[in-house]
Structure 1
Amino acid sequence: MEIDKTLWFLLLTLLAEIIGTIGGFGSSVFFVPFANIFFDFHTVLGITAVFHLSSNLSKIYLFRKGLDKKLILQIGIPSVLFVIIGGFLSKFFESQILEIALGIFLIALSLLFLIKDKLVIPAKFKQTVIGGALSGFSAGLIGTGGAIRGLTMAAFNLEKSVFVATSAAIDMMIDLSRTIVYFSNGYITKEILIYIPFLFIIGFVGSWIGQRILKHISQDYFKRISLFLILLIGLFSLFQSLK
């Protein structure tokens, strides 16, 4: 990739990491559409999994006081199981159709929770398992499940440090699983190895900047920001897939 395109890619990656930290659901929801500009779809899946390992390690360290072990298990275990299934199925599905469906889904549900701002889903076992399974399957199939998990956790009305730390820990479990699957599928190629040191630095710096910004955002605004960003992700994904 040319030097100017590489710089744009790294700058957009930093932006995705900062916004993903502020929104609480991780950077892949923005990183995947950005990376699609520079790489083919399967390479994007591979580089997303690698980048997220550093991104999530940074968030777990910076927001470690907010970790919720119960939610990590209830959302994380079904996420890991279904990311493996989605990762294997990614070889057989047409990505455009999946991206259109995801965009519509995110737009509809984020609008629902923005309009019905008092609507809160109790964080019970059934709801957490379903949210985890959907986010894991989406992450494996099209590279990003953070928006679905973010939507689930926003509906639970979690405190922002709990939201970010727990989401990152679950994402870490997902990424370790799908990295193995993507490597076996041949998605992690020599072409992307050169970016790994830069992606690890960006993962920490972007998470740190996002943490500093979050300190100045109230809990109510945090939830609305998360839902608004998910709405933008849905619109952007739909636009990219239809273009």
Structure 2
Amino acid sequence: MRDYNFVFLLLALVAEIVGTVGGFGSSVFFVPLGNFYFDFYSVLGLTAIFHLSSNLSKIFLFKKGLDKRLLLYIGVPSILFVVIGGLASKLINTLFLEIFLGIFLVVLSLIFLIKKNLTFNPTNKNAILGGSMSGLSAGLLGTGGAIRGLTMAAFNLEKSVFIATSAFIDFLIDFSRTFVYYNNGYIHKHDLKYVPFLLIIGLLGSFIGKKILAYIPQSAFIKLALYLILLIGIATLSKLFLV
């Protein structure tokens, strides 16, 4: 058991809880935190596997219906572009990907913190655009849930429908990119020992997140999550430029 990094597993649990309650998805926290312990490509592989269980949990826990329109207009382009992003990630130096990730997290959090009422218009065109950007980001950087969340927020869905629909789309994204990442060589045998733990963490974190949602206003938690994303983005960039 000495070969396991339990601090990493604890942070994965925190990422899953905060990601569930904040509505951003755990990858926006899991990917940059994982980069402190593993190489970037390994983190992409672990994220895809981790998210499969995480999103199955959310689909089960928030099973009050799915929005079929958004499954089509956001889900289909997301799947297409996550494959494109996953294939492109192999062609780009990991240092540039990590810098891009850090900048992405900082800019994303600042936009949400400054423009509190920022939304897209609820049109099919914007749904397709948001799904495409979300999928590309997920394949290239490992995280795209925040972009999808912003897109879906425009359609004013009931909370459980929002989470279930987002989780179902995310599941399809992760299922698709798992094959791409495996083909790229990102899923390493020596990292697979963490998979059983991450599967359990995905279930447990989603369950705890659902319980917290019943007692804490989501708006308050989203603000906290945004500050955490900002700090993680700054830490990611600091690690790269101070080494």
TM norm structure 1: 0.87
Equivalent position of 1:51 in the other structure: 50
| Cα deviation digits, residues 191-239 of structure 1 (max 9, x gap) | 1222221111111000000000011233544654565555455445444
Distance 1:144 1:108, change over 3 A: closer
Gaps of 5+ in 1: none
Relative distance call for 1:74 and 1:156 in structure 2 (3 A) is same
CA shift in 2, pair 1:121/1:232, >3 Å: farther
Which amino acid in the other structure matches residue 203 of structure 1? G
Q: Distance in 1 between matches of 2:35 and 2:113?
A: 29
Q: Tell me the equivalent position of 1:181.
A: 180
Alignment of 1:215-226 (within 5 A): 215-218=214-217, 220-221=219-220, 224=223
Does the CA-based 8 Å contact 2:120-2:150 persist in structure 1? no
Taking structure 1 as reference, are residues 115 and 34 closer, same or farther at Cα in structure 2, changes over 3 Å only?
Answer: closer
Bigger drift between 189-198 and 51-60 goes to 189-198
Q: Does 1:9 align with 2:8?
A: yes
Matches within 5 A, 1:94-109: 94-109=93-108
Counting aligned pairs with the same residue, the percent is 62
Structure 2: which amino acid aligns with 1:95?
Answer: T
Q: CA deviation at 1:64?
A: 1.4
The separation in 1 between residues aligned to 2:98 and 2:65, in whole angstroms, is: 32
Contact 2:21/2:222 (<8 A) preserved: no
Verify the 8 A CA contact 1:84 1:140 in the aligned structure 2: yes
Q: Is the 8 A contact 2:29 2:229 kept in 1?
A: no
Counterpart mapping for 1:70-149 below 5 A: 70-149=69-148
Taking the aligned partners of 1:35 and 1:108, their CA distance within structure 2 comes to: 20
Aligned counterparts of 2:156 and 2:221: Cα–Cα separation in 1? 10
Equivalences, count? 242
Counterpart of 1:191, as a letter, is H
Distance 1:216 1:203 in 2: 21
2:21 match: 22
CA distance 1:139–1:118, change in 2 (3 Å):
closer
> Quick one: distance in 1 between partners of 2:11 and 2:219?
28
Superposed structure 1 runs of 4+ greater than 6 Å apart: none
**Distance (Å, rounded) in 2 between the aligned partners of 1:217 and 1:238:** 31
Aligned partner of 1:65 in structure 2 is 64
CA contact (8 A) 1:51 1:203 kept: yes
C-alpha RMSD over aligned residues: 2.4
| Farther-moved stretch of structure 1 (167-176 vs 108-117) | 108-117
Gapped regions of structure 2 (runs ≥ 5)? none
Q: Which moved more, 1:142-151 or 1:26-35?
A: 142-151
Instruction: State the alpha-carbon separation in 1 of the partners of residues 103 and 109 from structure 2.
Output: 10
- Give the drift of 1:93: 0.8
Q: The residue matched to 1:194 in structure 2 has which SS?
A: helix
What SS class does the counterpart of residue 64 from structure 2 fall into?
helix
Distance 2:94 2:212 in 1: 34
Residues 190 and 117 of structure 1: CA distance in aligned 2, closer, same or farther (over 3 Å)? closer
